[in-house]
Amino acid sequence: MLIQERTLNDIPSILFVTGKLAEPALRRQLAELAPLAGFEPVVSVMPITVAALLTTEWVGRRLQIPEGVARVILPGYCRGPLENIAVPAGVTIERGPKDLRDLPEMFGRKRGRPADYGRYDIDILAEINHAPRLSSAALLAQSKRHRADGADLIDLGCSPGEVWGGIGDAVRMLVSEGIRVSVDSFQHVEVEPALAAGAELVLSVNGSNCQRAKGWAESYGCVEVVAIPDTPDDLDSLARTVDILAQSGVSFRIDPIVEPIGFGFAASLGRYLECRKRWPDFEMMMGIGNLTELTDADSSGVNVLLAGFAQEVGIRSVLTTEVISWCRSAVKEFDLARRLVYHAVVHKTLPKHLEPDLVMLRDPKVPSMPQVELEELARAISDPNYRIFAERGEVHVLSKGFYVHSSDPWQVMRELLAHEPDLDASHAYYLGYEVQKAITALTLGKNYGQDRELRWGFLTVPEISHRGAKD
């Protein structure tokens, strides 16, 4: 049965192939998607109940392509070479997603990002802790990795109580690679050779060493320092340091120091607000490792919250690091976060449905397949291939004459092996792998699709289907 919509001359016409069971859902999806994506939908309903059972050879004998169609999209589960379906000259044919609810992504609608999304105005300083302990090769590799993840400067963290005699050579090496460098030390015997080699920022300056800053600026040219209080809760000492630097003509940014939860966190945020009121035109910085590194929580959410605070207050640089395991991707997380909060603040819109790469543990939306569709699919399957679904807290495995569903993966595999006791080892491994993937999706609240990777935001690793390229 072919059902064709009215086609307008000024927009492309796309033919979608489906089965009887999925037709209503496909039409609902296309009614929302087509006006946004700019195409005229044409729907061809094949004389089969379940679209997942289609093959290109079977479709090729039955499909009629109306005049004016520029593109044909088959269901993702349709197996076989596309060459089995003859199409007119100039018409393209391809498989769509295995789940029609993913059609918006195919047409670039999933992220919903406006054209100007991605701007930011917060710099990232990525600190390499105990940099003196690294070899030159390791230091360069880590610096390049941080830069690739979004770092604007690499901050060389010196070791307290030690003197890094090779800091000048290390800075010179990084600068020669086009890497901007800051030095994190209170010892002038480390700071001065770093500045001479091309470092451009010094962390940090307070009442103990602020008098040296003028000499650094005079000796090494364009040098900037970070002004901090003598103790975190002493804004008066910060004010004295700021006055000295301002009168000396030294470039600086202010960091009132954020403190860990339980050690004055809320009050420290208040000091950032106070500093912004007191010095509305001065640059500010925040070292966010005291929250990301010292809190038992995945760092991505913490990074977004701190980025939002920084964006609203006008803190234009942050210092972060990747020491503890749950912060191992903190630089990339903040790079994504700064783009998200910039767009939210500048455009006065919620930071929602804009950056799916930051939603890693759970998926933003987990649609459900009705039980009646699963039962209908189980009755309609006429081949021995197994279909696996994760729905309503259970794994569902379907094949010809076989349907098992349970929240216990061992129970699923026991029944599956009882159904097919001679299952070869490679196939059993594949089914066990897919069942475990489905259990993981159910446990965390993620979308599961057979032969597709689970989504982990920007950490997602593409999965190559076992079926091979031709399928």
Q: Are 142 and 128 in contact (CB under 8 A)?
A: yes
Residue 337's domain is classified under what CATH number? Answer: 3.20.20.20
Q: Mean pLDDT over residues 228-257, rounded? A: 96
Q: Mean pLDDT over residues 179-204, rounded? A: 96
pLDDT at res. 109: 59
pLDDT of 4 > 60? The answer is no
Same domain, yes or no, for 215 and 264?
yes
Give φ, ψ of 296 to 5 degrees.
-75, 75
pLDDT at res. 465: 63
And the tokens for 241?
A: 């340091």
Q: Which residues of 351-375 are buried (b: 16+ CB within 10 A; e: fewer)?
A: beebbbbbbbeebeebeebeeebbe
| Residue 134 belongs to domain spanning | 123-354
Domain end, chosen from 354, 386, 421, is at 354
Same domain, yes or no, for 188 and 323?
yes
Average model confidence (pLDDT) across the chain: 91
Residue 302 falls inside a structural domain: yes
Same domain, yes or no, for 130 and 33?
no
pLDDT at res. 382: 83
Those residues with Cβ within 8 angstroms of residue 443's Cβ, 6 or more apart along the chain or in another chain: none
Question: Which residues are paired to 92 by β-bridges?
Answer: 71
- Domains contained in the chain, number: 3
Q: Mean pLDDT over residues 172-191, rounded? A: 96
- Residue in 404, 388, 386, 402 with CA at minimum distance from that of residue 440: 388
pLDDT of 468 > 50? The answer is no
Sign of CA dihedral 424, 429, 434, 435: positive
Same domain, yes or no, for 87 and 220?
no
pLDDT of 397 > 50? The answer is yes
Q: Mean pLDDT over residues 411-415, rounded? A: 94
The one-letter amino acid code at 327 reads C
More confident residue, 114 or 280: 280
Domain end, chosen from 309, 339, 354, is at 354
Same domain, yes or no, for 59 and 180?
no
Residue 116 falls inside a structural domain: no
Same domain, yes or no, for 350 and 404?
no
Percentage of the chain modeled with pLDDT above 90:
75
Q: Please state whether 48 falls in left (phi above 0), alpha (psi between -120 and 50) or beta.
A: beta
Same domain, yes or no, for 279 and 159?
yes
Those residues with Cβ within 8 angstroms of residue 247's Cβ, 6 or more apart along the chain or in another chain: none
Same domain, yes or no, for 317 and 257?
yes
Domain end, chosen from 354, 382, 397, is at 354
Question: Which residues are paired to 285 by β-bridges?
Answer: 317
**If you write DSSP's letter for every residue of 47-115 in order, what string do you get?**
SSS-GGG-BHHHHHTT----TTEEEEEE-TT-BS-GGGS---TT-EEEE--SSGGGHHHHTT-SS---T
